[in-house]
Structure 1
Amino acid sequence: MVKLNKKYLKPLKNFYVIGLITFVIWMLFFDAHSWLLHNDLNKDIEALEDEKKYYKNEMKKDKKAIRELSTDEGVEKVARETYYMKKHDEEIYIIEYEDSLLKSKKDE
């Protein structure tokens, strides 16, 4: 059994093997360009790219809303549907369905 341990420890006595192991450990964990740092930076890049996609989609929605609000019909539609505004000689009736009432009770 002692000979078996010597067999496995023999490469560790070589100067080049020790240098290579030290270099690999240094590059993986301690260097300014380490694998750990690159891994964290790659995760940050992915998160920023996802955020970029989200904001591009939001910009598309906002541009669509601006196009709709640039016409008089679009402004009138938003005012009637969102703010329940009406013309002077009109009456508005708001119809709520049972499923919308259940959702509003859960929110309260």
Structure 2
Amino acid sequence: MKKLVELLRNKYFLAIVAFVAWMLFFDKNDVLSQYEYRTEVNKLQQEKDFYLKETAIVKKDLKELDSNLGTAEKFAREKYFMKKDNEDVFVIVHTNDKKK
């Protein structure tokens, strides 16, 4: 018990404890803020990866359309469901739900 009292009276120990408490809880860059920043960075990195993939797909489609004009009709029919005046378009949606 006596050592604990001596430790609590030590000004260097108290300064270190106060500094650690300040840095962990009260500072602008405390532990909770750092965790929130890291989760935000991870979320933004996932969004960046998604948009890079989407950009690559769009560039591939654009290159295909620029290189061969015959694929423009196929592209319009598949992507935008366009049709000629005397045609009917049927859209078939596949679901992965398996009913037991």
TM-score (norm 2): 0.68
Task: Give the gaps of 5 or more residues in structure 1.
Answer: 104-108
* CA distance 1:84–1:44, change in 2 (3 Å): closer
* CA distance 1:18–1:72, change in 2 (3 Å): same
- Aligned residue for 1:72, secondary structure, equals coil
Choose which of 61, 69, 77 in structure 2 pairs with 1:65. 61
Instruction: Tell me how far apart the structure 2 counterparts of residues 28 and 48 of structure 1 sit (CA, whole Å).
Output: 25
Contact in 2 for aligned 1:80/1:86 (Cα 8 Å): no
Question: Computing the radius of gyration over CA atoms, which structure comes out larger, 1 or 2?
Answer: 1
Task: Give the gaps of 5 or more residues in structure 2.
Answer: 96-100
* CA distance 1:29–1:85, change in 2 (3 Å): same
- Aligned residue for 2:70, secondary structure, equals helix
Q: Aligned-pair RMSD on alpha carbons?
A: 2.9
Contact in 2 for aligned 1:29/1:35 (Cα 8 Å): yes
Instruction: Tell me how far apart the structure 2 counterparts of residues 6 and 33 of structure 1 sit (CA, whole Å).
Output: 36
Offset of residue 92 of structure 1: 7.2
Q: Are 1:85 and 2:78 matched, yes or no?
A: no
Bigger helix fraction: 1
The percentage of counterpart residues that share the same residue type is 33
Which residue number corresponds to residue 71 of structure 2?
A: 74
